[in-house]
Structure 1
Amino acid sequence: MPDTITLQVTRYRPEAGAPTLQEYQVPFREEWAVLDGLNYIKDQIDGTLSFRWSCRMGICGSCGMTVNGDPALTCGTFLSDYAPGPVRVEPLANFPVIRDLVVEIDDFMRKLPKVKPWLVRDEEPAVADLEFLQTPAELDAYKQFSMCINCMLCYAACPVYAIEPDFLGPAAIALAQRYNLDSRDQGAHQRLDVLATADGVWACTYVGECTNACPKGVDPAGAIQRYKLTAATRTLRSFLLPRAAR
């Protein structure tokens, strides 16, 4: 095994022009993730390097970057996977770059509230009735889609989002489906007008790269396809059933 490994890191300053790749030699240790290599650069070589991270445990989702061409959580991607190197670390694709490896996610933050990713109830219950019991089977219906950590890897991998910035995107739709499938939620009809649109599920061409990129096994592509069936069924019912029977 080598003593060191080369990290080729994108450096970008808006005032300095186009992004460039800068090479750094970091110690090669099998237990080190790519994030450890970046922290070594930040602490020992170049304190001007900018990137996001928080928990270092695959929970917060903030350390998502492009590693050798693929969107990944740098805390869960190990240097040993790329030995003998080099390892190219770039910002996530499909997002404006603020500085170095830091991207702007304002677009996602604007879209997320549109799908109402919270429990919607038709009537507010009394304080004494705030507990909504749920069976294990009811939990299993949506549990997979609840694992999303908003890491944005699916947006970086999505070819539709790359060319159609109005697309709601995989994570937002998967989170909407998480609540649509929750037995405690009564807001599915409110989300329909947002999801069943040209910028919602119908924009998806089912390439499936969002699911491949997801570090938590959420399967946003599957969530989108399931909702397409729901939307199509409701539209068909609106044409075939008398209004009183809907």
Structure 2
Amino acid sequence: MPDTIMLQVTRYRPESEGAPTVQEYEVPLREEWAVLDGLNYVKDHLDGTLSFRWSCRMGICGSCGMTVNGDPALSCGTFLTDHAPGPVRVEPLANFPVIRDLVVEIDDFLLKLPEVKPWLVRDDDGVDGVEFLQTPEQLDAYKQYSMCINCMLCYSACPVYGIEPDFLGPAAIALAQRYNLDSRDQGAHQRLDVLATDAGVWACTYVGECTRACPKGVDPAGAIQRYKLTAAARTLLPWGKR
């Protein structure tokens, strides 16, 4: 195995450049190094002007999402040796405006997220000293969907979001399902008007790329299809509104 590997990194400053360019950097190829380590090597030793996001380096914060050799991935969990001998192409996440280099703007997601009320909705808010206990089975009903880290990989992989900017998107719908399935929540009926729309679950064509890209096994595609059944039962069938 060679001692180095080539990173082909997208560079772009929209305020001063008409189009992105690609710059090559040769970095050490070490068994324990992820793509993020290679980018940090570039930043520290080769080119301090390179811009990218990262924080925890442990696949928890979700901030280091990038496109690596064509696939959306967490750069902290994508190892250089898996792409040896290279080159490794590193680009910003697709379907998002680029702020600079590998940094994308996610304001659209942040504005849409509150629409699905991703928090516990209770009719009895303000009751002091009340515990809402759950069984292990009740926890299991929504636990998978609670693993979302808002990394935006599913939005980058989603072809619908790429052409339909009004689409709520996989992560927002999966997070809505997390609370719809929570035994302590009483807000499912409030989310129905948002989720059961052309911009909600009905926009999804079930390509499934969001689930494939998810680093946490959330299965947003499954969450969307599951909610389609719920929405149909509540809006089309005569007993659905009971």
For residues 211 and 242 of structure 1, do their structure 2 counterparts lie closer, same or farther at Cα, with a shift above 3 Å needed?
closer
CA distance in 2, matches of 1:41, 1:145: 36
- The percent of aligned pairs where both chains have the same amino acid is 85
Equivalent residue letter for 2:102: L
Aligned residue in 2 for 1:91: 92
CA distance in 1, matches of 2:18, 2:28: 30
Deviation of the 1:236 alpha carbon:
2.3
Provide the TM-score with structure 2 as the length reference: 0.98
Deviations 1:147-181 (A, max 9, x none): 00000000000000000000000000000000000
CA distance in 1, matches of 2:172, 2:240: 33
CA distance in 2, matches of 1:202, 1:242: 18
Deviation of the 1:241 alpha carbon:
4.5
Deviation of the 1:218 alpha carbon:
0.1
Deviations 1:70-100 (A, max 9, x none): 0000000000000000000000000000000
Give unpaired runs (5+ residues) of structure 2. none
1:74-153 matches, cutoff 5 A: 74-129=75-130, 131-153=131-153
Deviation of the 1:235 alpha carbon:
1.1
For residues 88 and 143 of structure 1, do their structure 2 counterparts lie closer, same or farther at Cα, with a shift above 3 Å needed?
same
Are positions 1:214 and 2:210 aligned together? no
**RMSD (CA atoms):** 1.1
Equivalent residue letter for 1:68: N
CA distance in 1, matches of 2:87, 2:162: 27
Aligned residue in 1 for 2:230: 230
CA distance in 1, matches of 2:136, 2:168: 30
CA distance in 1, matches of 2:239, 2:8: 61
* SS of residue paired to 1:120: coil
1:168-187 matches, cutoff 5 A: 168-187=168-187
CA distance in 2, matches of 1:64, 1:4: 23
Give unpaired runs (5+ residues) of structure 1. none
* Greater fraction helix: 1
CA distance in 2, matches of 1:168, 1:241: 28
Equivalent residue letter for 1:32: W
Contact 2:13/2:101 (8 A) holds in 1: yes
1:22-61 matches, cutoff 5 A: 22-61=23-62
> How many residues were matched structurally?
241
Provide the TM-score with structure 1 as the length reference: 0.96
Contact 2:233/2:240 (8 A) holds in 1: no
Deviations 1:88-142 (A, max 9, x none): 000000000000000000000000000000000012142111x211100000000
Question: After TM superposition, where is structure 1 displaced by more than 3 Å over at least 4 residues in a row?
Answer: none
Are positions 1:5 and 2:5 aligned together? yes
Aligned residue in 1 for 2:63: 62
